[in-house]
Chains A and B, each alone.
Chain A
């Protein structure tokens, strides 16, 4: 019995499932990392993902191609990002309220539009994103099974993680972005408006969350939209952002961790009630947050022990 369970947990299937579950969370977390660096507490990612999921299917349904769906998602992502920045950056509204409003709005709007356009039965089987087969990878045992034949966005995510890491830590724009969140006035007196970086971060966040949604509806579910299909992944992504201190690579690792426990949960459904197994990723999230708190307190204590330097 135990061997069965362990065998099923540490199978190639689990790790493949881990990648698939982690991808939307990782994409959204990349977006969240941008707003986090710009000093915006963004809890509206869940809504942004949901919008992406819906408009991806809508584009695919209307134009009969997944590429058109993705194009629509990108356009939508920019609009959502602009909308968010308009209130948070321009009007300086409370970001918590705007994030919540965005989530509620997205839930209502996508459900309404879905029913109006697709009817109560919803829509499925629209043109979906392709899976990518890498020839030769199959010959590697285990790893080949895990890494090969995934949906396009799984691979795109890896590339984006690297690109965004370079952007944040290796380009001047990344420095400006971080300065805009950490000490906006410093950036202003250096001659760059911090608001610009905040607008940029919001738009990037809209784009990434949109892609996360597109992966859910056009990738994982092969062109299907279901109401509230973001299913709190935006919040998990937010947890990943906090856990990783908005470092794209670490956020990806955190998302993988989430994905791993999500996959285990699915495996354990054969043995334990699914209501219980579904809670596993969320319990892990809570554990992650506890770790964050402990870490920051320990750091505070250490920082206090370190004396500032004397005059040279």
Chain B
């Protein structure tokens, strides 16, 4: 059983200006589930891209089943039995399941023609062999994310993979889909003797699925442990290099007046279809209401409608007791709302403007920054920007650089700093930690709770369920634009997962 499937020997990988992998040596045993964890930018994906032949290491050697890898390209890696499911799926949307699976290794008729019937037959054989149910003739663009992931796994199996790399496979899945994925992983390991390497940053998943775990930090492998010998807290500390206080956030105070009131709200999406369907909810001062939903169920449109960025078809939005229906984003902000938008690059920031300008946005007309509503007080503004920069622990090359040159985590901190510094009574927060590393997540979470404890009404929307669980006083699940359930802690992942897929909770009607 202790046969070595993959051996990394002193792998270093330098990109211009960064050492993404720093002398990594690691053995992965045949037939094990190996979890690779680390903060964003720790070099996990880089290392796996070396194994899959996408990156050619600057230094070091890779052995697969004892054979040295000489050419670093995906073709070689595939032929040596390595398969990879990327974080962003590598599927051609207009092709069918079967056509995607056989791509580059197509069965042929008469040497030149694509044999579609054989492609479907082979796909069906794989489907039956591994029990991964999916229709071979269905175009991939019509499949749910979970099924698309199945197609990805089937694709690697079709190519004869014995070593399967999964790059953050659960990021896009519902809890039920995650359970199914884990069942599949266990099955291929147990029954087919495959080796699975799973990249993740969700530590409870490491505990749930892996035999061993490797922790990476700043490009280096800082430790490999048997999963049974560690707990989540130890792993978190190894990841960030200091003791992690993944403690309960202290929530104080009692909910006050209703600050956000949404009544029978109906909103259409970009295609003109109903995205939010007669939805009502309210958030009180000193309370975090979390929205749990699978992407595309109206949460984005709901937030855009509340913040004035999207037309409201019918219904009412009240902010701080004043009617905000149909007002412009600026007018709604004036009522006392601040908004951390879900896409920091599209609506959260101006990429080409400096950190200072981005931090000031929305406050330019304040008298302390502005003389005669015309002339900017540059030195005051700069001092203010530097203050926020430090207070929100933004790390970069200062306040004069363009935001576009910063890392995702620091960009997000710029948005958070700007919006939180309004000290508004109402805060709408969407995807506050998307693409942000563990340390920064901790910081952002504590800030959100600090605002809550100070009496701010917060509406939180996040694709990361753990985040929603951790921060929310109440959770509503949203499915196809309707609320399917309301929950107060302690939360059950299974129950909320069901609500996210449309099953109603305790017979509670959304319309009520």
Residues of A within 8 A of B (CB): 166, 170-172, 174-176, 178-179, 182-183, 185-192, 300-301, 303-306, 308-312
Contact between chains at A172 and B106 (CB < 8 Å):
yes
Bound-state Cα–Cα, A178 to B93, Å: 11
A-B contact pairs, 22 of them (CB 8 A): A171-B114, A172-B114, A175-B99, A178-B92, A178-B94, A182-B92, A183-B90, A186-B103, A189-B52, A189-B90, A190-B103, A192-B104, A304-B269, A304-B272, A308-B142, A309-B142, A310-B144, A310-B501, A311-B177, A311-B180, A312-B133, A312-B147
Q: Decide yes or no: A183 and B99 within 8 Å by CB, A171-B113, A172-B108, A191-B78 being known contacts.
A: no
Bound-state Cα–Cα, A309 to B150, Å: 14
Residue in contact with B112 in the complex, picked from A171, A301, A304, CB distance below 8 Å: A171
Contact between chains at B147 and A186 (CB < 8 Å):
no
**Size category, B interface:** 35 or more
Closest-CB distance, B80 to chain A (whole angstroms): 12
B187 within 8 A of A: no
What chain B residues lie within 8 Å of A185 (beta carbons)?
Answer: 88, 90
Closest-CB distance, B169 to chain A (whole angstroms): 15
Contact between chains at A183 and B114 (CB < 8 Å):
no
What chain A residues lie within 8 Å of B112 (beta carbons)?
Answer: 171
Which B267-318 residues sit within 8 Å CB-CB of chain A?
Answer: 269, 271-273
Bound-state Cα–Cα, A174 to B113, Å: 10
What chain A residues lie within 8 Å of B94 (beta carbons)?
Answer: 178, 182
B143 within 8 A of A: yes
What chain B residues lie within 8 Å of A172 (beta carbons)?
Answer: 106, 108, 114
Contact between chains at A304 and B273 (CB < 8 Å):
yes
Residues of B within 8 A of A (CB): 52, 54, 73-75, 78, 84, 86, 88, 90-95, 99-100, 103-106, 108, 112-114, 133-134, 138, 142-144, 146-147, 176-177, 180, 269, 271-273, 501
Which of B92, B99, B100, B138 is most buried by chain A, counting CB atoms within 10 A of its CB?
B92
Closest-CB distance, B451 to chain A (whole angstroms): 36
Chief secondary structure at chain B's binding surface: loop
What chain B residues lie within 8 Å of A175 (beta carbons)?
Answer: 95, 99, 103, 106, 114
Bound-state Cα–Cα, A312 to B176, Å: 12
Q: Decide yes or no: A191 and B142 within 8 Å by CB, A171-B112, A175-B114 being known contacts.
A: no
What chain A residues lie within 8 Å of B501 (beta carbons)?
Answer: 310
Closest-CB distance, A173 to chain B (whole angstroms): 8
Which of A166, A172, A188, A192 is most buried by chain B, counting CB atoms within 10 A of its CB?
A172
Residue in contact with B104 in the complex, picked from A182, A183, A191, CB distance below 8 Å: A191
What chain B residues lie within 8 Å of A188 (beta carbons)?
Answer: 74
> A309-B144, A312-B147 given. 19 additional CB < 8 A pairs?
A171-B112, A172-B114, A175-B103, A176-B103, A176-B104, A185-B88, A186-B91, A186-B92, A186-B100, A189-B54, A189-B84, A189-B90, A190-B78, A192-B104, A300-B271, A304-B269, A304-B271, A304-B273, A309-B142
Residue in contact with B90 in the complex, picked from A170, A186, A301, A311, CB distance below 8 Å: A186
What chain A residues lie within 8 Å of B134 (beta carbons)?
Answer: 312
What chain A residues lie within 8 Å of B113 (beta carbons)?
Answer: 166, 170-171
What chain B residues lie within 8 Å of A300 (beta carbons)?
Answer: 271
Closest-CB distance, A300 to chain B (whole angstroms): 6
**CB-nearest residue of chain A relative to B106?**
A172
Contact between chains at A309 and B147 (CB < 8 Å):
yes
Q: Decide yes or no: A187 and B144 within 8 Å by CB, A179-B95, A182-B92, A304-B271 being known contacts.
A: no
Contact between chains at B103 and A179 (CB < 8 Å):
yes
Contact between chains at B93 and A182 (CB < 8 Å):
yes
What chain A residues lie within 8 Å of B105 (beta carbons)?
Answer: 190
What chain B residues lie within 8 Å of A308 (beta carbons)?
Answer: 142-144
Contact between chains at B176 and A311 (CB < 8 Å):
yes
What chain A residues lie within 8 Å of B114 (beta carbons)?
Answer: 170-172, 174-175
Residue in contact with A187 in the complex, picked from B73, B104, B142, B146, CB distance below 8 Å: B104
Which of A185, A186, A189, A311 is most buried by chain B, counting CB atoms within 10 A of its CB?
A189
Bound-state Cα–Cα, A253 to B143, Å: 33
Closest-CB distance, B488 to chain A (whole angstroms): 28
Cβ-closest 9 pairs across A and B: A191-B75, A190-B104, A304-B271, A172-B106, A186-B90, A312-B133, A304-B273, A189-B90, A183-B92
Contact between chains at A187 and B103 (CB < 8 Å):
yes
